Amino acid sequence: MLTTALSFILVLGILIFIHELGHFLVAKKVGIRVEKFSLGFPPNIFSKTVGETTYCIGMIPLGGFVKMVGENPEENPTGAPYEFMSKTVGQRAAVIIAGPFMNYLLAIVLMIGIIFFGGRAIYDETRVIVGEVPKDKPAYGAGLRTDDQIIAVNGEPLLTFDSVRSRINKIVNDSLTLTWVRGTDTLSARILTEGAPIPNEQGGVDSIGVIGFAQKAISYEQYGFFESVKRGFVSTHIIVRETVFFVKRVLTGEVSAKMMGGPLFIAKQSGEEARKGAASLFFFMALLSVNLAVLNVLPIPILDGGHLVFLAIEKIKGSPLSVKARAIAQQVGLVVLLSLIVFVTYNDILRVFRGW
């Protein structure tokens, strides 16, 4: 529980900080006065004013904000040069896009680091060599250990990890016969599989059989810095592409919206990835960072994408939207956002009860 809580705070805190830092740095760069930089939402557990900006840490770690002078037309801007609305459309757009862009950059940096320091695992494609075997899993109880070589499931010879996994996955809450080699000995045991829940695209839950073991890497291929940078960029853009594709499929109804996760899912997954190791946690963070960037540029009023739409309209018509029009749009956006939060939280609660 402690690992889960700390991992959740670390992951979400870094993602939010980087996002808001993007808005903050570009706002300062173009000469906008920033009144408040908040990590988390009130009530505050920390607050300190330095220069013209008050820096805060809120007790609710589900977001953050940068409050700029004159950013809301309803505040009746004075026209001072340091106000948000006094800047050009291009400068204001740069301030808004900087948040998602920083999340995108963070994902790239994380992926480069994972590849540079961790390298790429190389597996034997002709043999199934057992890696980690958790002590609380059926495989361990049956006697399977690290470095054993699995050769058959239910008497069927299998030569690859994927074929072994696929065969076991089809046997749910039922027994199977596993055969493996240790040194010069051939061993065999009956093992009762566990049913592991796995979400499907229709929003339901399927179940697959597992016995609990991982494949062992025979070596690791290390990459130099420039090759790691190249691979980091490629890996990040694959994540971006898949994230955009997933959002598109949700919006068109091809995939159930129940596949989306909220704060509880992030907290649970953060803890699980942290227990696997730093590389797994950083990869999860990169994945979330891309998700945050993509979701923030959706054209929903109150999100960064919605503000970009306002600026595009202003650029086309030559003047800002009326205060009334912006207020209505933002109220609609707030309803949409709150509905989404309630929906994903409901999904999270269902996941807790269903055990996945």
pTM (2 d.p.): 0.84
pLDDT greater than 80 at residue 298: yes
**Span of 84-88, 283-287, 298-302, 343-347 with lowest mean pLDDT:** 343-347
Q: Which of 94, 115, 100, 119 is nearest to 233 (CA)?
A: 115
pLDDT greater than 80 at residue 258: no
In this prediction, residue 5 carries a pLDDT of: 78
Buried-state track 80-90, b at ≥16 Cβ within 10 A, e below 16: eebbbbbbeee
> Average pLDDT for residues 272-281, to the nearest whole number?
81
Q: Which residues are catalytic?
A: 20
Q: Which two three-digit tokens encode residue 179?
A: 């055969």
pLDDT digits (tens, 9 = 90+) for 118-165: 888 899 988 999 999 999 999 999 999 999 999 999 999 999 999 999
Verify cis geometry, omega within 30 degrees of 0, for the bond prior to 199: no
pLDDT greater than 80 at residue 51: yes
Query: What residues does each domain of the chain span?
Result: 2-119+258-354, 122-219
- Cα-Cα-Cα-Cα torsion 165, 166, 170, 171, nearest 10 degrees, comes to -30
pLDDT greater than 90 at residue 3: no
The angle that helices 89-118 and 2-29 make with each other, rounded to 10 degrees, is 140
pLDDT greater than 70 at residue 310: yes
Q: Which two three-digit tokens encode residue 68?
A: 């700029």
Class of domain 122-219: mainly beta
**Span of 25-29, 95-99, 293-297 with lowest mean pLDDT:** 293-297
> Average pLDDT for residues 74-85, to the nearest whole number?
82
pLDDT greater than 60 at residue 285: yes
